[in-house]
Amino acid sequence: MTGTEIVCGDCGTVPPGRPGRRPLCPACKLNRRITLLLDDGTGHIRPALRPLATALRNAPNLSTSRLWLYKPQAAELLTALATGRVPLSHDGLSTWPRPGAARHLRHRLIAYGILPPVDPSLADIESWLRHRLAQLSEHLTSRYFANTRSGINSPGCGPRQPAGRCALPRSPTPPSSSPRPNSS
């Protein structure tokens, strides 16, 4: 090693790259990202997620792991799992609003022994069904309230009556006490 080489600030190796770049080797960059995302709020990796951290650090292609960890969907889900905002379970992953990220992470968590094995097709269908029912519920609720505001579901309005032109309910007229004229 010559005196002009820049060494990694964490491990002391000479990182590849251009002069002037931050002096961290790829392994140390990955390690920092893993520690940041899997921090449980105490400055340490959540114990249940340590096998995932170890597997990511020992991956054959560190750049692939690092790229995955910089995807916003993956980073957000990992942080939510590490801090406990999302339960570390199949049900917790099924409730995540981005099913693609949850599916990918579910497969990794099963492979590393963090979650118990489950039929992936069944888990995907359950997740899809949960999200679809939530969408339908929101759609029906918003549709009902939109129709109520426009007067369609108001009393005296029919399905073909334009909004704002609904007939007001009329009070019944009392029967008249005058005798009817004879028609003969």
CA-CA distance, 38 to 4, in Å (whole number)?
35
Q: Residue 148 has what pLDDT?
A: 55
- Tell me the backbone φ, ψ of residue 99, rounded to 5 degrees: -60, -30
> What's the length of the chain?
184
Cα of 152 vs its chain's centroid, Å: 35
pLDDT (tens digit per residue) in 7-16: 777 777 766 6
d(CA 83, CA 150): 44
Q: What is the mean pLDDT of residues 62-72?
A: 90
Q: pLDDT band at 118, cuts 50/70/90?
A: confident
Helix, strand and coil in the chain, % to nearest 5: 50, 0, 50
**Does residue 141 sit in helix, strand or coil?**
helix
From the CB of residue 2, how many other CB atoms can be counted at a distance below 10 Å?
Answer: 5
Q: What are phi and psi of 39, to 5 degrees?
A: -65, 130
Higher pLDDT: 94 or 151? It is 94
Average pLDDT, the chain: 78
Counting residues of the chain whose pLDDT is more than 90, the rounded percentage is 32
Quote the pTM value. 0.63
Q: How far apart are CA 75 and CA 86, in angstroms?
A: 13
Q: What is the DSSP letter of 45?
A: B
Q: Which residues contact 117 (CB under 8 A, 6 or more apart)?
A: 110
